[in-house]
A and B are shown apart, each in its own frame.
Chain A
Amino acid sequence: MMIPVLLGATILCFVLVDIPNDPVQDRVFEIEQSTGEPVPQSTIDALEATWYYDRSIPERYWIWLTGVGDTNDDIGLIQGEWGPSIEGTAMPIGDEVSDRFWITLRLVLFATIASIGIAILAGVVSAVKQYSRVDYTLTFLGFLFLAMPIFWLGQLFKEGAVQLNKILGSTVFQTYGSGTTGFQGNGWAVFVDSLPYLIVPTLVLMLGGYAAISRYQRASMLEVMNSDYVRLARAKGVRNGTVMRRHALRTALIPVATFAPLSLSAAMGGAMVTERIFGWRGLGVYSLDAINAGDTFAVMAYVLISGIVVLIGVLISDILYGVLDPRIRFE
């Protein structure tokens, strides 16, 4: 079921991104501007051939997907080739994407897990202390972060971290880049090196994403707390903490599992913004540059990867359903 959805998404994106863009013409215009002479037809033909613009959109999609036919051996997704980038052969899409993927995934995963965690915490506290001052404060904060654009929050936190570093005379919060420039080492060393760079962007994405889930968590927790079986558990003398953890929270988490993939896809979108602000060389920024350049194959690489990430999120949330809800059995 996931493969057709992914194929449909790539077809739709391919058509929508490809139709309005004509990188060949843009490049021809650029050359004309720099040399001041009309571009010979042979150059145009060569450009069209390298970028596969000498064929129609359906043909181009087909060759992007399968690589079957008359190619330069650099295209065909199922053969592991991402297609030519208009940035030239110095920046092949495959290498760029695989370098950047882990940088972005690190940020998105941390942010999603943190935002779901804090959402559950805030939602449960609000529900348990319903109509108290804590509840009102948390609810208002939730509304506030829901209304806050991520790019503004990001700018604010970035500048705030810079000021804090200045005052403390430290470099705890790194605010530019995703890791020390030119840092070499094995996987773990790279990860440790990147931690100071991760703190602020993760915080931004977390605060931008948690509010919606925490609203649902509060509502579902309230509903469960008023249900008969929780009252029964109380009546037979189970301690309050145990009732909350074992009886109420477990059921109240079920609706939240629905929102996990939503928050993952929101974090992917938010990563585009935070990467731009914090100067990361991640996938999000790559896709933004590709959009600006009209680089269809590069945009498609992003669409495909983010689609797969989101679909895996859906899969995980389905599995979580089964874990959380004893009524669901996977055959």
Chain B
Amino acid sequence: MSNTAASDRLESEALSTKERGQWEMVFRRFFRHRAAVISMVIFLLIVLFAYVGPFLWKWDYKIHSEIPSWAAPSMDHPFGTDKAGRDMLGAMMQATKQSLNVALVVAIGSTVIGALYGAIAGFYRGWVDAVLMRFLDIMFVIPFLVITGALAGAIDTSVRWYHMAIILAVFGWTSIARAVRAEVLSLREKEFIEAARSAGGSDWHIIVKHLIPNTMSVIIVSVTLQIAFAILSETTLSFLGLGIQSPDTSLGLLIDAAGASAFNEHWYLFYIPGVMIILIALTINFIGDGLRDAMDPRQTMVRR
């Protein structure tokens, strides 16, 4: 009897206040963040440019004999051409695509490794945690560019984007692991974990089904930071000659090839890839910032 009364009361409440799920709230808050929404639109345009663009544009990133060398930007070649006779718009599409490929794979790969690592360290604590954290210290001491560069440089065949992605993911997960561990350390003391354990949930079940989903807000923000980090590292390594190599191309390679042309008549070779890197990293950072604000339940949208 009391059951039906309670559900009646719930129903009448449901009439007056519309139920909002957590994700709906996040969604709404995110869309109130103007910079984040604009960034989202720009980022999606860049993705379209990189993945759909090559199907629409007549030139690809390769050298063609009929393309004039060092042509200034014009209708035929909106981003100009380089010395060897390569259409820069086509090259930019390919380069952006490779950089985005690397970034997305690194973001996913390093997040999976980092989240599991951090959750295991935080969940078991004790000696497991101690050992895992010492290993993180070791990874922190190793110079990132040296070890990734050494591994990429050791690949005998021409380095492709997936080589870079794997190498960067294998060495880039440490910050996520730290963030997730800190979160899990406090979560593991909560009642719902105790409930899950008393209901007979295994450790693995608790980690994967209860702890990691509850650190989602940390993880999603880390993913965005990780994308920016991956873009910057990949282009840096390519610039140093330790990353993606020609005949393939990358934003770092294009800037390296542009060399000292920032203030001469070939300025477009230098600025266009640079601005593209900045745009990707900048928009991703803004999106991450918007997501963090949207997912933080303590955050009110009211300004103090």
Query: Which A residues fall within an 8 A CB radius of B?
Result: 4-6, 8-9, 12-13, 16-17, 20-21, 131, 143-144, 146-152, 155-156, 158-160, 162-163, 226, 265, 268-269, 272-273, 276, 287-288, 291-292, 294, 299, 302-303, 306-307, 310-311
Interchain CB contact under 8 A, A310 and B285: no
**Chain A: interface secondary structure?**
helix
Q: In the complex, which residue of chain A has the Cβ closest to the Cβ of B282?
A: A147
6 A–B pairs (Cβ distance < 8 Å), ordered by A: A8-B134, A143-B286, A147-B228, A265-B143, A291-B146, A299-B150
Chain A residues with CB below 8 A from B259, complex form: 155
Interchain CB contact under 8 A, B260 and A159: yes
B144: Cβ under 8 A from any A Cβ: yes
Q: Bound complex: CA of A149 vs CA of B99, how far in Å?
A: 13
Interchain CB contact under 8 A, A9 and B262: no
Q: Which 5 A-B pairs rank lowest in CB-CB distance, beginning with the nearest?
A: A20-B154, A147-B281, A159-B262, A147-B282, A8-B138
Residues 141-163 of B at the A interface (beta carbon under 8 Å): 141-147, 149-151, 153-155
B48: Cβ under 8 A from any A Cβ: no
Chain A residues with CB below 8 A from B278, complex form: 144, 147-149, 152
B222: Cβ under 8 A from any A Cβ: no
Residues 109-160 of B at the A interface (beta carbon under 8 Å): 134-135, 137-138, 140-147, 149-151, 153-155
From B143, B241, B255, B285, A152 is in contact (CB under 8 Å) with: B255
Query: Which B residues fall within an 8 A CB radius of A?
Result: 134-135, 137-138, 140-147, 149-151, 153-155, 228, 232, 235-236, 239-242, 252, 255, 259-260, 262-263, 270, 274, 277-282, 285-286, 303-304
Q: Bound complex: CA of A6 vs CA of B262, how far in Å?
A: 41
In the complex, given contacts A12-B138, A302-B146, what are 19 additional A-B residue pairs having Cβ atoms less than 8 angstroms apart? A5-B141, A9-B141, A20-B150, A143-B282, A147-B280, A149-B278, A149-B281, A151-B236, A152-B278, A155-B255, A159-B260, A269-B143, A269-B145, A272-B145, A272-B146, A273-B236, A273-B239, A287-B146, A292-B241
Q: Bound complex: CA of A299 vs CA of B151, how far in Å?
A: 12
From B153, B228, B304, A226 is in contact (CB under 8 Å) with: B304
Q: Bound complex: CA of A50 vs CA of B120, how far in Å?
A: 45
Chain B residues with CB below 8 A from A159, complex form: 260, 262-263
Whole-angstrom distance between the Cβ of A29 and the nearest chain B Cβ: 12
Chain A residues with CB below 8 A from B228, complex form: 146-147
Whole-angstrom distance between the Cβ of A226 and the nearest chain B Cβ: 7
Chain A residues with CB below 8 A from B142, complex form: 9, 12-13, 303, 307
Chain A residues with CB below 8 A from B137, complex form: 5
Whole-angstrom distance between the Cβ of B244 and the nearest chain A Cβ: 14
Q: Bound complex: CA of A182 vs CA of B140, how far in Å?
A: 37
Whole-angstrom distance between the Cβ of B269 and the nearest chain A Cβ: 11
Interchain CB contact under 8 A, B285 and A288: no
* Total A-B pairs, Cβ < 8 A: 131
Q: Bound complex: CA of A35 vs CA of B137, how far in Å?
A: 48
Q: Bound complex: CA of A17 vs CA of B235, how far in Å?
A: 21
Chain B residues with CB below 8 A from A149, complex form: 232, 235-236, 239, 252, 274, 277-278, 281
Chain A residues with CB below 8 A from B263, complex form: 159-160, 162-163
Interchain CB contact under 8 A, A155 and B260: yes
Q: Bound complex: CA of A20 vs CA of B150, how far in Å?
A: 9
Interchain CB contact under 8 A, B236 and A150: yes
Whole-angstrom distance between the Cβ of B149 and the nearest chain A Cβ: 5
- Decide: A152 near B140, CB < 8 A? Known: A143-B286, A144-B282: no
Q: In the complex, which residue of chain A has the Cβ closest to the Cβ of B143?
A: A306
- Decide: A131 near B303, CB < 8 A? Known: A5-B134, A5-B138, A160-B262: yes
- Decide: A6 near B141, CB < 8 A? Known: A146-B285, A151-B252: yes
- Decide: A16 near B240, CB < 8 A? Known: A146-B281, A149-B235: no
From A150, A302, A311, B141 is in contact (CB under 8 Å) with: A311
